[in-house]
Amino acid sequence: MSAGQTAAGLQGLEPGNPFSEADWDTPHGLPPFERIRPEHYLPAFEASLAAHEAEIGRIVGDAAPPSFANTVGAMERAGLALDRVASVFFNLTGSHTNKDLQAIERTIAPRLARHGSAIYLNPNLWARISAVDPAAEPLSEEEHRVLDRYRTRFRRAGADLGPESKARVAEIAARMAELGTQFSQNLLADESGFELPLSGEEDLAGLPPFLRAAAASAATERGGRHSHVITLSRSLIEPFLVFSTRRDLRERAYEAWTRRGEMGGTTDNRAIIAEIVALRAERARLLGYESFAHFKLDDTMAGSPDAAMELLRDVWTPARQRAGAERERLQALIQAEGGNFALQAHDWRHYAEKLRRAEHDLDESEVKPYLPLEGMIAAAFDTAGRLFGLRFEELPEFPRYHPDVRAWRVSNADGSEVGLFLGDYFARPSKRSGAWMSAFRSQERLNGTVTPIIVNVMNFARAPAGEAALLSFDDARTLFHEFGHALHGLLSDVTYPLLSGTAVSGDFVELPSQLYEHWLEQPEVLRAHARHHLTGEPMPEALLERLLAARTFNQGFATVEYAASAIIDMTLHLSAAAEDGLDVPAFEADALRRIAMPAEIGMRHRSPHFAHIFSGDGYAAGYYSYLWSEVLDADAFDAFREAGDIFHPETAARLRRYVYGAGNLRDARAAYTGFRGRLPSIDPLLRKRGLAA
């Protein structure tokens, strides 16, 4: 544990409980995962909640007049023990859960929500924070920002409401925590419970060697009852939809993939969604907002649902037009092959891959041997080294929560420590789907020199024992994307925990991740790191050129499937009708009809499995933020192009100062303007996606 966090140990716990220890004698203060058992968590949560309540009580009961130090600063020093327990527990419930952890999660999630409500709805605490006078004491620029953010948080949590409304807001928060937890656990159950067995050569028809190997590994991991299985891990299901020549099996796989969360029975999420949407709308009304979307976007860079919807509409029209042209070409290909059926959603990826081969002479199975996981990790690290002077040293021994996890010490060029980076790359039944960045410890200086412990969690297909894991170009892009988030956490350079790392506006947080993807697509990076996993030979120049030339291929489809999900999200959280017994499939169908959604394209995330917006509030009425941030990232990378060097030192230094290292030190518009000198234009985004007129 870094200096300054020695107060995090908990009193009153049994001596064998690792959370009773003030210091963990492990590399970089990593949690001692091998010693933490499920039965340790609930006592640790109870003890740390009690400790935090006592800390808040001392702040409220302080006889001295409210000041920044004895109120806001004290708030920032409180809750360290609770943060430590929660960070370990919730990282594991996402990446390596089990029935015991899930039961604890169902118990503790509403308890934590009630605890948070008790703090933010405490009238005496709010009175002290309101009474802090920034003009009466010499506050730094960062301290002004912290005070402002605390006041904003308290108001948005309901601190100005009357007693009855406060009580209802607290009830809503507790119920929402229960519902979000159940949504996530239902989704994981549907995902881990499905498998499509492939028996014999007929079922494997069309599958390239890398996919056959991945399906065999998945079968072994699931007990070996079948020789090959396709699971609902994206790294298996998507390539299966691309390569399988068995149209009937593609349809079965696609049906299972798109119906997660609405298969009936105890794991069906439709009633949960209806209740979540109604509760969000009620909370927004109590807080004085027209809808949950208005509440959510009031504290973002976009500022309003109208601004977000305007961007989505600006992209939707050209994307739908391009998708229509793509559809016609795919249908023509079906007919040219003698097919007498209309293109369906489960056909699109398969025929798009055939068309890509025909138009760009590009086959994904030809590309993957040059994108081994090890090479792409090295590419991400090397890019960070050239941009920010970072160095990565892999640790051979350290505490792991799963044998797959790897760790690297991250340092600056002068050897000073930046933090620890963990990589957890492979799919498994105990891990939820998707890819994400999280923190076991966030950077700050208030409680000593606290260096971050950042983790990237992926769901790549595992290769057979002794073979290299090979990535698709989309997989490699995901790796770069999540590592961009990781850098946002690692490079954070703030004093106060509230402002650390990724704690920024929801439609700004994707800028560091999406911007980092650009370096993967640069010939200079690919020539250095895209090397054959067996021979070490670089990707042939002709193949590299074909790969880059195909970057905007199928972008109508990609943009439509994403934008449709973002539009549904926003429409759902703008709608008052959703409060009166929401019929989720009917609402989706009606909303898609109104925007003329192409029937042959499915939404990237249908509501019953849309974890971004229903497992918590993080991206609710905020899925548009990927597109909003893409406007920023496309414009931001142009700064390097204009400088004539994709690793331009002065531009990279500004990027580190105002984006990757700045946390929430300043408003998102001010942060972007500090880096770029102006706000962005949408034109680079349209060019990037191939949608410019």
For residue 4, pLDDT over 80 is answered with no
- Closest of 183, 37, 10 to residue 101, by C-alpha: 37
> What is the mean pLDDT of the segment spanning 313-334?
97
What span, in angstroms and rounded, lies between the C-alpha atoms of 198 and 243? Answer: 14
Residue 663 in any domain: the answer is no
Q: Does residue 381 sit in the same domain as residue 465?
A: yes
What DSSP line would sit under 448-510, residue for residue? S-B--EEEEEEEEPPPPTTS--B--HHHHHHHHHHHHHHHHHHT---SSGGG-TT-S-TTTTT
Strand-pairing partners, residue 543, are none
Find out whether 381 and 523 touch, Cβ atoms under 8 Å: no
Choosing from 105, 482, 561, 600, the catalytic residue is 482
Angle at alpha carbon of residue 566, lines to 564 and 312, rounded to 5°: 85
Residue 632 in any domain: the answer is no
Write out 198-241 in H/E/C secondary structure: ECHHHHCCCCCHHHHHHHHHHHHHCCCCCCEEECCCHHHHHHHH
Scanning the structure block, which residue is given the tokens 């790897």?
406
Contacts of 264 (CB under 8 A, 6+ apart): none
What pLDDT, in 10s, does the model give residues 437-488? 999 999 999 999 899 999 999 999 999 889 999 999 999 999 999 999 999 9
Q: Does residue 338 sit in the same domain as residue 377?
A: no
Catalytic, 255? Answer: no
Q: Does residue 331 sit in the same domain as residue 387?
A: no
Q: Does residue 115 sit in the same domain as residue 198?
A: no
Burial of 336 (0-12, 13-18, 19+ CB in 10 A): exposed
- The identity of residue 658, as a single letter, is Y
Here the tokens at position 184 are 């996530």
Here the tokens at position 5 are 């966090």
pLDDT of 231 reads: 95
pLDDT of 579 reads: 54
Q: Does residue 353 sit in the same domain as residue 374?
A: no
Contacts of 96 (CB under 8 A, 6+ apart): 401, 402, 428, 430, 431
- Closest of 235, 196, 254 to residue 459, by C-alpha: 235
* Angle between helix 555-574 and helix 270-286 axes, rounded to 10 deg: 60
Residue 277 in any domain: the answer is yes
Q: Does residue 309 sit in the same domain as residue 377?
A: no
Domain boundary among 476, 505, 534: 505
What span, in angstroms and rounded, lies between the C-alpha atoms of 321 and 594? Answer: 16
Helix (H, G, I), strand (E, B) or coil at 423: strand
Domain that holds residue 228: 194-259
What pLDDT, in 10s, does the model give residues 565-579? 999 999 999 986 555
Residue 633 in any domain: the answer is no
Domain boundary among 242, 259, 276: 259
pLDDT of 5 reads: 40
For residue 358, pLDDT over 90 is answered with yes
Q: Does residue 397 sit in the same domain as residue 273?
A: no
For residue 613, pLDDT over 90 is answered with yes
Residue 522 in any domain: the answer is no
Strand-pairing partners, residue 393, are 409
What pLDDT, in 10s, does the model give residues 78-136? 999 999 999 999 999 999 999 999 999 999 999 999 999 999 999 999 999 999 999 99
Q: Does residue 450 sit in the same domain as residue 382?
A: yes
What span, in angstroms and rounded, lies between the C-alpha atoms of 31 and 431? Answer: 19
Q: Does residue 343 sit in the same domain as residue 378?
A: no
Residue 297 in any domain: the answer is yes
Question: Average pLDDT, whole number, for the chain?
Answer: 95
Indicate the pTM of the whole model.
0.95
> What is the mean pLDDT of the segment spanning 335-345?
97
Residue 571 in any domain: the answer is yes
Domain count, the chain: 4
Strand-pairing partners, residue 229, are 197
pLDDT of 575 reads: 84
Find out whether 452 and 439 touch, Cβ atoms under 8 Å: yes
Q: Does residue 423 sit in the same domain as residue 480?
A: yes
Pairing of strands 417-426, 453-460: parallel
Q: Does residue 156 sit in the same domain as residue 12?
A: yes
Domain boundary among 243, 259, 275: 259
- Going by pLDDT thresholds of 50, 70 and 90, the confidence category of residue 12 is confident
pLDDT of 580 reads: 61
Q: Does residue 130 sit in the same domain as residue 38?
A: yes
Here the tokens at position 102 are 């899930």
Residue 666 in any domain: the answer is no
For residue 194, pLDDT over 70 is answered with yes
For residue 71, pLDDT over 90 is answered with yes
- CATH number where 67 lies: 1.10.1370.40
For residue 1, pLDDT over 50 is answered with no
pLDDT of 8 reads: 58
pLDDT of 6 reads: 39
For residue 364, pLDDT over 50 is answered with yes
What pLDDT, in 10s, does the model give residues 225-268? 999 999 999 889 999 999 999 999 999 999 999 999 999 999 99
- CATH number where 440 lies: 3.40.390.10
For residue 7, pLDDT over 80 is answered with no
What pLDDT, in 10s, does the model give residues 508-531? 999 999 999 999 999 999 999 999
What is the Rg, in whole angstroms, of the alpha carbon atoms belonging to the chain? 25
For residue 398, pLDDT over 90 is answered with yes
Burial of 157 (0-12, 13-18, 19+ CB in 10 A): buried
What span, in angstroms and rounded, lies between the C-alpha atoms of 443 and 611? Answer: 27
